[in-house]
Amino acid sequence: MQQKVIITCAVTGSVHTPTMSPNLPVTPSEIAEAAIAASEAGAAILHLHARDPETGAPNGDIELFRQFLPRIKQSSDAVLNVTTGGSSQMSVEERVAAPFELSPEMCSLNMGSMNFGLFPMAERYSEWKHDWEKQFLENTRSTFFRNTFSDIDTILAKLGDEQGTRFEFECYDTGHINAVAFYLRQGRIKPPVFLQFVMGILGGSDASADTLMHMKSTADRLLGNQYRFSVLAAGRQQMPLGTMGAVLGGNVRVGLEDSLMIERGKLADSNAQQVQKIRRIVEELGLTVARPFEVREILELKGGDKTGF
């Protein structure tokens, strides 16, 4: 039986920079407004990062999260999913400070260290809104995104074991799915496991139908019936591969973290516009979009009343 489709919206992330779109939420108020609108459009999970309100640079300051998480919670019943990935150029300590303190229902958890190349985007622009942007992108030639087994162990213990937070396991290739399977065999994580297949990042899997099928078949083989999956395709494959994921019985993630566009050559006006588009596609396929209370049941979440904000 086809299960209800969970739509996640990743509101701002740390990949794109303010020069790339005037619609990218930056300030706490903008992030809150964008998240609430995405929820109203049909997103049951809101994946959240913080940015410096003056420059738009990725920022893990807990006080920034405190400025928008309670506001979103008061205005929406969506599941709030706080990043532990932050930015590939933050230290692990910076990335986990806010979620460790705020104890959200869900957190993202990247399942392996990798190259995370954003530098090709620097070639597309000759002028920049802020001085930090070009260098931030260029730095990804010589840095890597650290997610060691020790880092994963710590996050599972501090958030999962101690606080009851559940995870969106971000898998950029099949090796990361294998890591999830290892932790499942060890009893360190328990089903239902929620995988996010992340495709289209330079250094990870490419965004293609063949890759999606390979990742799903790998998860089927290693995890059996103990998991659900969602599809995150960066850039122009966001909608096509998200649609394919829904057809295959999975879920979908959209949002300006993953793509700034609503169609080829046209910037999205908002996160909500992307949510509205994928929701329309899903429903025209005859599928049903999951509501937040259903997501809490499906993923066995602890509930919004048990968070630290």
Contact indicator for 64, 31 with CB cutoff of 8 Å: no
The per-residue pLDDT for range 173-220, each reduced to its tens digit, is 999 999 999 999 999 999 999 999 999 999 999 999 999 999 999 999
β-strand pairing of 266-267 with 261-263: antiparallel
Round to whole Å and give the CA distance between 145 and 158.
21
| 2 pLDDT more than 70 | no
Residue 200's nearest CA partner among 265, 143, 257, 147 is: 257
Its pTM surpasses 0.85 = yes
Average pLDDT over residues 61-87: 98
